[in-house]
Amino acid sequence: MSQKPINFLHLSTLVAVAILVGTELVGASWAAGWALGGLFQLDPMISHALEALFSLLGFIGLYFFMKTAVRNEPIRG
């Protein structure tokens, strides 16, 4: 069974979109945790925990975004 060749135009598009959207999602998520910690004057440990939680949510969002992007812009084909 032979596989289709890699379409490097699609691959480069997906890599660029992963970098751009990933930076935006994870950065905004981390900043939201930092802002909420400062707004409510939370303990620094709680603030860091919020930052980590929101960053994790940003990575989860990036995962689902990229899953959809690869489905619509296949690497092979």
Give the pLDDT confidence of 45-56 residue by residue, as tens digits. Answer: 999 999 999 999
Give a yes or no: residue 6 inside a domain. no
Is 8 inside a domain boundary?
no
Residue 28 lies in domain: 22-71
In a domain, 33, yes or no: yes
User: Per residue in 25-69, pLDDT tens?
Assistant: 999 999 999 999 999 999 999 999 999 999 999 999 999 999 999
Give domain status of residue 14, yes or no. Answer: no
Number of domains in the chain: 1
Q: Which residues contact 6 (CB under 8 A, 6 or more apart)?
A: 75, 76
pTM of the model as a whole: 0.88
Q: Is residue 37 part of a domain?
A: yes
In a domain, 58, yes or no: yes
52 found inside a domain: yes
Strand stretches in the chain, DSSP E: none
